[in-house]
Structure 1
Amino acid sequence: MAGTRDYYEVLGISRGASADEIRAAHRKLARKYHPDINKEDDASEKFNEIQEAYDVLSDQEKRAAYDQFGHAGAQASGHPGGHAGQSAAWSQVDPETFESIFGDMFSGGGFSGGRSAGAGPFGGGYQQPRQQPSKGGNIDHEITIPFTTAVEGGTQSVRMRSADGELESIDVKIPKGISDGAKLRVKGKGGPGAFGGPAGDMIIKVRIAPHPWFRKEGLDLVIEIPVTITEATLGGSIKVPLLSGTANVRVPAGCSSGRRIRVKGQGITDSKGRTGDYIAIIRIEAPDRDDLDKKDVDALESMGERLKNPRAGEPWFKD
């Protein structure tokens, strides 16, 4: 049951309940379902569920993690999850609740006979086990950054909820040349630690927003460049855009669509100093038929009759 039901539902309280309301609800239910008092078959299971809910909601850090991330957040903040045995259940009951449950079993309605608040009703004592500090769990987060930030590096503001439940903004350093899907670690911004332990880390998965005309292939900066049939046939120098400014690229004569023109060392430089290439992919744009006059059409038809059929070399071609 634990780990599936809402902790607020288990205690029968609202999500805005105060610490006193949480404590009162727990005391009432603990009296009702403690297995040393209630002999129903499911009393032990219900009691453990109540204790688990109280353990989280009575702790400010655990409650904040639970409110933000649900049961996964409670576990990341140090709550082990699952049911403990009956002896472990005793260790979670505070002395005031303990006396509330068993006080009427002893004379005077309270603890007597030299019993301390830590004594069990059947002799002996119970002790809260000593808990070792443990680091909080990691929290996964995903952000999308502009294309230029991925290429040039920079910082990205990330909105997150702190361990006390407050929204805060942190600046995450983005190394230049970062790849789509890369993960960054921000130390101390994960789930809260338990028993004085340090907070976990936030693991940020980086997504890169598309650029209007560039794309990134590793450290290569890639762009499709439309050219006329004249430029593709005769070759020439064309102006192409860079991330900042422009440059001239030489189109070789007889260039086909899909050909890649590579300019060495003009791509993206990463944080380790490695640099990729600038790659222009040729896309031949045929003119619209309505834009051609009779002389243009006659010239193209004449050229088509004289030139070799480009399909003639294909194994499936039949004239």
Structure 2
Amino acid sequence: MSDPYKVLGVTKGASAADIKSAFRNLAKKNHPDQNPDNPKAKESFSKINNAYDILSDSEKRAQFDRGEIDSDGNPVHPGFAGNGFGGFGQNSGQRRSGASEQTHTGAGAEEILSEIFGGRGGFGRTGFGQQRSGGFGQSGFGGARSAQKGADVEGRVAVTLEDIDAGKKASVALGDGRTVAVALPKGVKDGQTIRLKGQGEPGPLGGPAGDARITVKFIPHPLFKVDGANLRYDAAIHLHEAYLGGKIQVPTLSGRINLTVPPKSNSGNTLRVPGKGLPGKSRRGDLLVTLLIQFPDQDEPDLKALMTSWAAEGRPPLKPR
């Protein structure tokens, strides 16, 4: 039979705060889930819990100090005064009628363990079930509960369109100081959140790790605008290129290409270049080139003379677009 004061390592004059602190430290160190290779861990933890059950309850503590109950909270009957726990009061040999109404001077064991290990009144593989009066009985534990999942962590990563096009992995710094590599899925969108399973905080008492939630942000590109898996590009062309047609060079993420402009192309017409967009879920997107007729900054005497002649002749009206 163990003296609860000795089990918790406190004196008989210890305050409620001292008792709670001692229990918290011992429970964290001796919990069976923290000592899976120690077959005696369950027994040791049961003693610690029983000791706290006695000393954290002001009435039970007083009964124990008077020798009315033993370290398991059981009544001490006459004839056992030689156990070293003191004499008996008028109610020796039985619990007081109010003993079932616990008067805790500090937080309950379950509450403290929930603070230590996380959870809602239970924890780990050997978590609490319904607490029995006078402690946990022989086993020291109630019904088993599954270990809890760890917390998720957040991260952000800025990527270029070139990196997405090349399928490069992005390096992400998480809030806990770790750095992980993220493979961007095909069809990834600006602002999309990618979940990395098992890359979050470790689970309490051996539970599964949480996830990492990575938010992807596209770095604005100087030439292209993203439209789903397609890329849009505005190409400036001369008037003669728009009227006569011809080939112009346009950029892509993998280099410049030649693009054929049909004759009599109007400003605002869009030409499609297949497969020169971003990787999509089912197929690669396209490059959409919008033609914008642009006049040169310097004067063009011949062009001015032609336009003046057309104006004088009265050109036919344009069709509404």
Q: TM-score, normalised by structure 1?
A: 0.58
Distance 2:291 2:28 in 1: 63
Q: Which amino acid letter does the alignment assign opposite residue 265 of structure 2?
A: C
Distance 1:126 1:97 in 2: 6
Q: Which of 28, 53, 74 is the matching residue for 2:17?
A: 28
Q: Which of 304, 310, 316 is the matching residue for 1:308?
A: 316
Residue 72 of structure 2 corresponds to residue 116 of structure 1: yes
Q: Contact (CA 8 Å) 1:150, 1:179: kept in 2 or not?
A: no
1:153 alignment partner in structure 2: 167
Q: Which of 228, 232, 244 is the matching residue for 1:218?
A: 228
Q: Which of 280, 285, 294 is the matching residue for 2:294?
A: 285
RMSD (Å) for aligned C-alpha atoms: 3.8
Q: Which amino acid letter does the alignment assign opposite residue 62 of structure 2?
A: M
Distance 2:74 2:308 in 1: 103
2:129 alignment partner in structure 1: none
Higher helix share: 1
Secondary structure of the 1:195 match is helix
Q: Which amino acid letter does the alignment assign opposite residue 301 of structure 1?
A: T
1:303 positional shift: 2.5
1:240 positional shift: 1.2
> Deviation digits for residues 177-217 of structure 1, max 9, x if unmatched?
42223332211122432332101212223221121102232
Closer/same/farther in 2, CA of residues 283 and 117 from structure 1, 3 Å limit: farther
Structure 2 regions of 5+ residues with no counterpart?
1-14, 30-48, 76-94, 101-132
> Deviation digits for residues 33-85 of structure 1, max 9, x if unmatched?
xxxxxxxxxxxxxxxxxxxxx99xx979xxxxxxxxxxxxxxxxxxxxxxxxx
Distance 2:208 2:215 in 1: 22
Distance 1:158 1:99 in 2: 50
2:248 alignment partner in structure 1: 238
Written as runs of structure 1 = structure 2, the 5 A alignment for 1:179-218 is 179-218=189-228
Q: Which amino acid letter does the alignment assign opposite residue 297 of structure 1?
A: K
Written as runs of structure 1 = structure 2, the 5 A alignment for 1:91-102 is 95-96=51-52, 99=55, 102=58
Secondary structure of the 1:135 match is coil
> Deviation digits for residues 89-129 of structure 1, max 9, x if unmatched?
xxxx88448615537523537x7621327999825324465
1:134 alignment partner in structure 2: 148
Written as runs of structure 1 = structure 2, the 5 A alignment for 1:266-281 is 266-270=276-280, 274-281=283-290
Identical amino acids, percent of aligned pairs: 27
For these two proteins, the number of residue pairs brought into alignment is 226
Distance 2:317 2:74 in 1: 97
